A and B are shown apart, each in its own frame.
Chain A
Amino acid sequence: MSTDSMPSDELVSLYRTMCVIRTYEDRLAEIYTEGKTPLFSIAAGPVPGEMHLAAGQEPVAAGVIVHLRSDDVITAPHRPHHFAIAKGVDLKRMTAEIFGKKTGLSQGKGGHMHLFDPQTHFSCSGIVGAGFPPAVGAAFAFKRQGEDRVAVAFAGEGAANQGTFHESLNLAASWHVPVVFVIEDNHYAISVPKERSTAVAKNSDRASAYGIPGVYVSGNDVLAIAEAAEKAIARARQGHGPSLLEIETTRLYGHFQGDAEAYLAAGEKDEWRHLDPVPRFRDYLLHSGRMTPDKDQMLQAEARALVDEAIAFARESPDPDPADAFTDVFANA
């Protein structure tokens, strides 16, 4: 780990966030298979549709969002749960949404790729690269209204080849607005490896084309991420303009649940598992004396309880009424 500058309680808080995310994603992975065996059908079970899980990518969410306030804005991609959890989206209502229930964030209309929570200023989209422009717009609104809020757009490394990425970096730089672009480099855009799709090894180098700082953080190391994010977010909040972070991370599940990952080389995944950031950070905290084994046990039990409670709430919640399908198309119907 790269820094000892953070107080122990903040480090443990980062770990707690990572534990909740991992517990949540692992539980969803299990629940997702309900009703889908012996024959897998994407439409069956209590949680149907596509499911993109973020286990392995916890350090990105925890390390960046620890520096955000509840009134800061996040736009997230199709793999959104870790960001939502770190931002403080209500886990019960989020889970109910993922179960398609009336008590969900969007009364079951959105689902796992389309989570909207105005309370924590969180949203996500199923369209790759779609979150960059709205984040620039939110940042523009903050500047215009004289607020010291910050917008952060998260996306995968595949999204950095979208026009929206380049257009948004240019617009943010020319408007000088408080936005931070964060690229999660999990090495694969579904099946296509980064080196086969991207002309430069590091997307962070692309920042130079727009005259803004670009930093690459390797190793999926939550402390290195937190350190880099602190600078970028402070810079934005202090009115010094946008910046770009690219963070190396690992996708421990497939692109979506049910992805056979036939495109991976033999043993490639084992390497990632070996670098699993949650046990690595736990070991660091235990060995450096920042966290006791008892505290670890307690945090893990808390995470399980939180997730159990959210899932129970979702399971017990009622389905929407069929007539709900016809509402909310317009605000002024």
Chain B
Amino acid sequence: MSTTTIRKLTMARAISEAIAQEMERDPRVLVWGEDVGAYGGIFGATQGLLPKFGEDRVIDTPISESAFIGAAIGASAEGLRPVVELMFVDFFGVAMDQIYNHLAKNHFMSGGSVRHPVVLMTAIGGGYNDAAQHSQSLYGLFAHVPGLKIVVPSNAYDAKGLMIRSIREDDPVMYFFHKGLLGLGWMPSDDWAEVDVPEEPYEIPLGQAHVAGDGKDAAVITIGAMVPKVMAARDRVAQEGISVEVVDLRTLVPLDRRAVVAAAQKTHRVLVVDEDYRSFGMTGEVAATLAEEALDYLEAPIRRLAVPDVPIPYSRVLENTVIPSVDAIADEIRALVK
């Protein structure tokens, strides 16, 4: 029997450990992006990689996102497996053509003959007053484009297993880590995400939701940094006798539609909570899945709570108004079971 070493890790540590282990296992895995070297990634996701693997495999890039993200397309087609970081999801606009017309589509357009095993990772989310160009989630935008797999971990254990799986995928994966889950000392951080993580490498398959909490009166389907908030709201309404099931989707593409339907079958009342914009996004897709496949099980209209289609404001009082809070989630649950 092998012995398994388990430690508590922050999500940032779990991500950098996953990348390091894959780099050790597979010399084709390289990391590049802005400030991933000496700085260790602005959010610590590449911490410790430069001293371990050197400048040939951990590469600081110019602020030339079209070029360095596009370069991952060519490099992956010719034998490398790049993990590319772009600091904030808000910054992807400048490189969108390389992503949504090429990285996402080449496999399809080539009849399956061209593969792009690329992980594009980036930080998402608000809650620290960084305003409209540094606080978005936006994974719904990328999930909308066929050909990109979309990973949004909520805790360190999932973060490691999902990163290892993402690197081993032969498809492009976009990996979104929420700044407030990483365990950064300088950022409001949810300790909930800092959990036991085995030292050994392990995979979590993409497309498998996780039931984060059992319940019978209602189900909340959510993802990423909303998971700990929903869990806190669940504790709060439990004191009022409301039993809530919590489904952490973990990936948007593939979407675990069976888990979505199962939650409706079990509890008959569903709330969908997201930190991305409300319209045309994750909450709408989950609600549509419920309407298509689980309408007969529902005893109340589906409810949705997400950023209400406004850019993320700077001022604290305004930001707190638009990002779903534990209070707002608890109120939505109460309204759902009424």
Question: In the complex, are the beta carbons of B134 and A50 less than 8 A apart?
Answer: yes
Question: In the complex, are the beta carbons of B131 and A325 less than 8 A apart?
Answer: no
Check A141 for interface membership: any CB of B closer than 8 A: no
Check A128 for interface membership: any CB of B closer than 8 A: yes
A263 to B38 CA separation, bound complex (whole angstroms): 6
A126 to B308 CA separation, bound complex (whole angstroms): 22
The winner among B37, B321, B322 for most chain A CB atoms within 10 A is B321
The answer, among B62, B93, B311, for a CB contact under 8 Å with A197, is B62
**Interface stretch of the complex, out of B184-192, B201-209, B240-248:** B184-192
**A264 nearest in chain B by CB position:** B38
Check A189 for interface membership: any CB of B closer than 8 A: yes
Check B309 for interface membership: any CB of A closer than 8 A: yes
Q: State how many angstroms separate the Cβ of A268 from the closest Cβ of chain B.
A: 13
Question: In the complex, are the beta carbons of A113 and B131 less than 8 A apart?
Answer: yes
Check B21 for interface membership: any CB of A closer than 8 A: no
Question: Which A residues are in CB contact (< 8 Å) with B276?
Answer: none
**B308 nearest in chain A by CB position:** A326
Please name the 3 residue pairs, one residue from A and one from B, whose CB atoms are nearest each other, closest first.
Answer: A111-B314, A108-B315, A100-B315
Provide the main secondary structure of the chain B interface.
loop
Binding site for A on B (CB under 8 A): 34-35, 37-39, 42, 60-67, 90-91, 93-94, 127-134, 185-188, 308-311, 313-322
Interface bits A209-231 vs B (CB < 8 Å: 1, else 0):
00000000000000000000000
The answer, among B34, B91, B133, for a CB contact under 8 Å with A189, is B34
Q: State how many angstroms separate the Cβ of A29 from the closest Cβ of chain B.
A: 16
For chain A residues 110-127, which have a beta carbon within 8 Å of chain B?
110-111, 113-114, 125-127
Q: How many residues of A contact B (CB 8 A)?
A: 50
A9 to B320 CA separation, bound complex (whole angstroms): 49
Sample of 18 A–B contacts (CB below 8 Å): A41-B128, A49-B314, A100-B317, A101-B315, A106-B314, A114-B131, A127-B93, A161-B62, A161-B63, A162-B64, A163-B66, A163-B94, A190-B34, A190-B35, A191-B37, A324-B313, A325-B318, A325-B319
Question: In the complex, are the beta carbons of A329 and B64 less than 8 A apart?
Answer: no
Q: Given that A127-B93, A162-B94, A320-B317 are contacting pairs, would A40 and B186 also be in contact in the complex, using a CB cutoff of 8 Å?
A: yes
Q: State how many angstroms separate the Cβ of A41 from the closest Cβ of chain B.
A: 6
A234 to B245 CA separation, bound complex (whole angstroms): 68
The answer, among B133, B185, B313, for a CB contact under 8 Å with A39, is B185
**A197 nearest in chain B by CB position:** B62
Q: Given that A190-B35, A325-B310 are contacting pairs, would A42 and B94 also be in contact in the complex, using a CB cutoff of 8 Å?
A: no
Q: State how many angstroms separate the Cβ of B188 from the closest Cβ of chain A.
A: 5
Question: In the complex, are the beta carbons of B133 and A127 less than 8 A apart?
Answer: yes
Check A312 for interface membership: any CB of B closer than 8 A: no
Question: Which B residues are in CB contact (< 8 Å) with A322?
Answer: 317-318, 320-321
Question: In the complex, are the beta carbons of B39 and A42 less than 8 A apart?
Answer: no
Question: Which B residues are in CB contact (< 8 Å) with A109?
Answer: 131-132, 311, 313-315, 318
A119 to B159 CA separation, bound complex (whole angstroms): 48
Binding site for B on A (CB under 8 A): 39-43, 48-50, 97, 100-101, 104, 106-111, 113-114, 125-129, 158-159, 161-164, 189-192, 196-198, 258, 262-263, 319-326, 329
Extra contacts besides A109-B315, A125-B133 (11): CB < 8 Å:
A41-B186, A41-B187, A42-B129, A110-B132, A158-B63, A164-B94, A263-B38, A320-B317, A324-B313, A325-B310, A325-B321
Q: State how many angstroms separate the Cβ of B46 from the closest Cβ of chain A.
A: 12
Question: Which A residues are in CB contact (< 8 Å) with B129?
Answer: 42-43, 48-49, 100, 111
Question: Which B residues are in CB contact (< 8 Å) with A326?
Answer: 308, 310
Question: Which B residues are in CB contact (< 8 Å) with A128?
Answer: 63, 91
Question: In the complex, are the beta carbons of B39 and A263 less than 8 A apart?
Answer: yes
A193 to B317 CA separation, bound complex (whole angstroms): 38
Question: In the complex, are the beta carbons of A320 and B64 less than 8 A apart?
Answer: no
Question: In the complex, are the beta carbons of A126 and B62 less than 8 A apart?
Answer: no
